[in-house]
Chains A and B, each alone.
Chain A
């Protein structure tokens, strides 16, 4: 029994250590989050239409479409990074990125790249606002003094990218619901019994 527990514990530990926490790099040395997804029985028109709907409806607060073709969608995105203090926290900055989607029949791929970070500062009214207009590429190495904080920002951006990818895959795998018809409101007339 004990040995079984040891084996299970070792497997769990390995899984935890193997879990990726930060971005991979592309051939230009830039951070990238890249996925190819098999999507059997869905042609590229359906996939592209769903991707476009995802950008313009489902994630419209975070994404802005920059261009589209019959098999691709390009958008720019922005996500707020939070600094957590036990149970509460506050925004510490925003990461902007490029979203690229390409579809073929029965499969598609998408990737997030060109990540750059703009730190927030608290203004005189207690609100967090961008402290500068100059953004820093997320893959840029920083000095020892700020390495810990920078790594936390990179990891937070990565976890947001993972969440984004999950949402995107689920959305593309799901049949889009038809627009609900407006319900006819029943009225009660006291003129007849």
Chain B
């Protein structure tokens, strides 16, 4: 632990020293604002089993997200905060009790030792998975089961080496998932291999092992996307998470496919098809979800309208009908407006 702290302080000191000698870039400011209306076909908000878009028959808030970035020579920082339900109560962790504060999305420093090698320390968006908290980073407005059940963010220190534009490798030490300070020490190790075999195709092979949701476990993840033609893009996310203690809930396996087709300059249609299974734990049997989400992105300058229809199925009947009776199916319609600046 002492060694890690020494490395972080050494990196920070070097950054300060070099900052006096090298030119600075302008401060970058960017962010987004989002709001949505959702209607659950069974009029029951409990049918939302994934993150965000949880209200029913309501014009609701997502979040305002503000990011700052500055680079001084080889050193840079990113600080990103979000305010609003998507960035507060629905993100983990909420900085204050009762969901009245904000969520840090990114807060880290980075140093590029060379063009190929860099180190980063702080709190960062997770390297696991296809979807992210920010609505600007996702095509669909609702989120997948894989996103909801995986890590959102990881605090830690990582090193990245870029062998070429087609291959890079990251390795790092991390806290347990989604915490600003470790409750079980710097107890997870993670890595990411990025390969870009052909132009337009990028694949990330990710592993994170150590303290996480439900105790200690290991998650293996494949996230890839391929811009096959000017108009057609295909994305894939597949992951497996095993908690060491087989009596604890939270182990899962799943895959999601993301085909998207641009029908016009400003309009892209997309689909997310997902299979997701919570694995058996203790005496509780496994349970499986399938979900199909039809989404359109209509862009007008910085604004994107996202109409969406989502259908979920689970034969174990975790959903509710309008009468309150349990049901195997759920459906919802939502219309979101996301402005990126």
Whether A126 contacts B105 by the Cβ 8 Å rule is yes
- Known A90-B28, A143-B266, A146-B265; judge A85-B341 contact (CB<8 A): yes
B29 within 8 A of A: yes
* Partner of B30 from A90, A125, A142 at Cβ < 8 Å: A90
* Partner of A122 from B30, B200, B301 at Cβ < 8 Å: B30
* Partner of B301 from A125, A133, A145 at Cβ < 8 Å: A145
A14 within 8 A of B: no
Give the distance in Å from the alpha carbon of A127 to the alpha carbon of B125 in the complex. Answer: 11
Which residues of chain B from 92 to 119 have a CB within 8 Å of any chain A CB?
105-106, 108
Whether B27 contacts A122 by the Cβ 8 Å rule is no
Which residues of chain A from 78 to 99 have a CB within 8 Å of any chain B CB?
83, 85, 88-91
B78 within 8 A of A: yes
Q: Which 4 A-B pairs have CB atoms at the shortest separation, nearest pair first?
A: A124-B125, A126-B78, A145-B300, A90-B28
B-side contacts of A149, CB under 8 Å: 301-302
Please report the total number of A residues contacting B with Cβ < 8 Å: 23
The smallest C-beta distance from A134 to any residue of chain B, in angstroms, reads 5
Q: Would you give 22 A-B contacts (Cβ < 8 Å), ordered by A?
A: A88-B26, A90-B28, A91-B28, A121-B136, A122-B30, A124-B124, A124-B125, A126-B78, A126-B80, A126-B105, A126-B106, A127-B69, A133-B199, A133-B200, A133-B227, A134-B200, A145-B265, A145-B266, A145-B298, A146-B299, A148-B301, A149-B302
A175 within 8 A of B: no
B132 within 8 A of A: yes
Interface string of B195-225 (1 = CB under 8 A from A): 0000110000000000000000000000000
B240 within 8 A of A: no
Whether B301 contacts A121 by the Cβ 8 Å rule is no
Whether A132 contacts B227 by the Cβ 8 Å rule is yes
Whether B299 contacts A145 by the Cβ 8 Å rule is yes
B21 within 8 A of A: no
Which residues of chain B from 227 to 244 have a CB within 8 Å of any chain A CB?
227, 230, 233
Give the distance in Å from the alpha carbon of A89 to the alpha carbon of B199 in the complex. Answer: 29
- B interface residues, Cβ below 8 angstroms from A: 26-30, 67, 69, 78, 80, 105-106, 108, 124-127, 132, 134, 136-137, 199-200, 227, 230, 233, 264-266, 298-302, 340-341
Q: Interface SS of chain A: helix, strand, loop or mixed?
A: mixed
Whether B265 contacts A90 by the Cβ 8 Å rule is no
A-side contacts of B300, CB under 8 Å: 145-146
Whether B266 contacts A146 by the Cβ 8 Å rule is yes
- A interface residues, Cβ below 8 angstroms from B: 83, 85, 88-91, 121-128, 132-134, 142-143, 145-146, 148-149
Whether B266 contacts A88 by the Cβ 8 Å rule is no
Give the distance in Å from the alpha carbon of A61 to the alpha carbon of B92 in the complex. Answer: 41
Whether B134 contacts A122 by the Cβ 8 Å rule is yes
Whether B301 contacts A143 by the Cβ 8 Å rule is no
A-side contacts of B301, CB under 8 Å: 145-146, 148-149
The smallest C-beta distance from B241 to any residue of chain A, in angstroms, reads 19
A-side contacts of B341, CB under 8 Å: 83, 85
Output the nearest chain A residue to B262 by Cβ-Cβ distance: A134
Q: In this complex, which of A91, A122, A142 has the most chain B Cβ atoms within 10 angstroms of its Cβ?
A: A122
Whether B230 contacts A124 by the Cβ 8 Å rule is no
Whether A89 contacts B137 by the Cβ 8 Å rule is no
B-side contacts of A123, CB under 8 Å: 137
B-side contacts of A146, CB under 8 Å: 265-266, 299-301
B-side contacts of A89, CB under 8 Å: 26, 28-29
